[in-house]
Amino acid sequence: METFNISGLRVISLSHNNLSGSLPPNMGSILPNIEELNLGSLSNLVGTIPHSISNCSELTILELSNNQLTGLIPNSIGYLAYLQYLNLALNNLTSESSLSFLNFLTNCRNLTTLSLTLNPLNGMLSVSTGNLSTSLRNLYANVWKIKGRIPNEVGNLSRFLSRNYLVGSIPKLIGNFRNLQGLFLSNNKLTGSIGDNLCKLQFLDVIDLTQNKFSGSLPYYLGKITSLREIRMGLNKLSTNIPSSLGNIQDLVVLELLSNNMVGSLPLEIGNLKAAILIDLSMNQFSNRIPREIAGLQNLAHLSLRHNKFQGTIPDSMSNMVGLEFLDLSHNNISGIIPKSLEKLKNLKYFNISFNKLYGEIPSGDPFKNLSSQFFINNEAFCGS
């Protein structure tokens, strides 16, 4: 590189090539005017990120993901005042236990996206994390080894910290950060109730609290966040029932509440979730009948109600759920016959009603022709081919 005069270059984009080597230690003096440096997914980019990168003072985009970079993330990155996009994901980069580089990144007031996913970072999340740029909308930090409580001050980050070792509860002040778009706190050890503070986040499109120790109920006011497209709260200790207000979220695509302690009937308003393609309420304590209003979910592809205490019959109206590909009603107390009208579900590939109290003739038309007999075992008295 040094045999040419490239000091005037403003953009270098070499991602997804078979290039190898390392970043030159004096890259700051070689590329003083560089604004965009795209070196992601090279075949063998090794070595460290040089401290001299701070001299690339015009940098707005730094893409170094999916390489084999090692060593500490240099604090000097924090001197890149114009930096907007920083992607260091999928490397072997490390940090001091204080995660000091995050303190220095608070100087990058234009930073909108920061991705550190799948690096062996190990440390304690500090209060200073909350001083990261107010422009920051995307922080991808999953599969760190971050420990400790979530400071109240970090509530201004929109995409958050999944698969770490966080403990404690969701900070109450998180409701003050009205521009929050996605809350990702899955695979931690967080406790307490979800609380009503999330309900102030009117731009929220994803809540992922999967696999924590949250207890209590789903907040009724969750139904006021009509921007929501995904609610993922499986593998917790949530109790009580599903609030009817969830029926107000008409753009909801995913509702996952599996493996909790939820009880009661499914609200009739569940049929209002016209955009939903996946609903998993399995392994709870839901009871009473499956409401016939569920037939309003005509775009639904995946429905799992297995391992609950549902009673009554399979609603004949479910034959209108023409998008269904996966339907699991196993391990309940459902009785009666299989409605022959379900033969209209031409897209159905998986239909499990084992371990119930069903009887009568199994329909013989599509989609029942190719289903395994295991899907019908442990019922009262089935007959048919």
pLDDT tens, position by position, 190-236: 888 887 777 777 888 888 899 999 999 998 988 989 999 999 999 99
**CA dihedral for 229, 164, 198, 134, sign (positive or negative):** negative
pLDDT for the residue numbered 2 = 45
What average pLDDT score do residues 318-345 get? 95
User: Which pLDDT band, with edges at 50, 70 and 90, does 158 fall under?
Assistant: very low
Residue 130 has pLDDT above 60, yes or no: no
Class of domain 171-233+251-260: alpha beta
User: Which pLDDT band, with edges at 50, 70 and 90, does 315 fall under?
Assistant: very high
Given a contact cutoff of 8 angstroms between Cβ atoms, the answer to whether 371 and 338 are in contact is no
Q: What is the mean pLDDT of the chain?
A: 85
Pick the CATH number of 1-168 from 3.40.50.2300, 3.30.70.260, 3.90.480.20, 3.80.10.10: 3.80.10.10
CATH topology identical between 1-168 and 171-233+251-260: yes
Find the length of the chain: 385
Residue 179 has pLDDT above 70, yes or no: no
d(CA 247, CA 18): 51
pLDDT for the residue numbered 22 = 93
d(CA 110, CA 81): 7
Task: Identify the residue whose tokens are 């970072």.
Answer: 121
Q: Where are the domains of the chain?
A: 1-168, 171-233+251-260
What average pLDDT score do residues 97-109 get? 79
pLDDT for the residue numbered 131 = 60
pLDDT for the residue numbered 242 = 95
Total-model pTM: 0.71
What's the per-residue H, E or C state across the chain? CCCCCCCCCCEEECCCCCCEEECCCCHHHHCCCCCEEECCCCCEEECCCCHHHHHCCCCCEEECCCCCCEEECCHHHHHCCCCCEEECCCCEEECCCCCHHHHHHCCCCCCCEEECCCCCCEEECCHHHHHCCCCCCEEECCCCEEEEECCHHHHHCCCCCCCCEEEECCCHHHHHCCCCCEEECCCCEEEEECCCHHHHCCCCCEEECCCCEEEECCCHHHHHCCCCCEEECCCCEECCCCCHHHHHCCCCCEEECCCCCCEECCCHHHHHCCCCCEEECCCCEEEEECCHHHHHCCCCCEEECCCCEEECCCCHHHHHCCCCCEEECCCCCCEECCCHHHHHCCCCCEEECCCCEEEEECCCCCCHHHCCHHHHCCCCEEECC
pLDDT for the residue numbered 141 = 61
pLDDT for the residue numbered 1 = 38
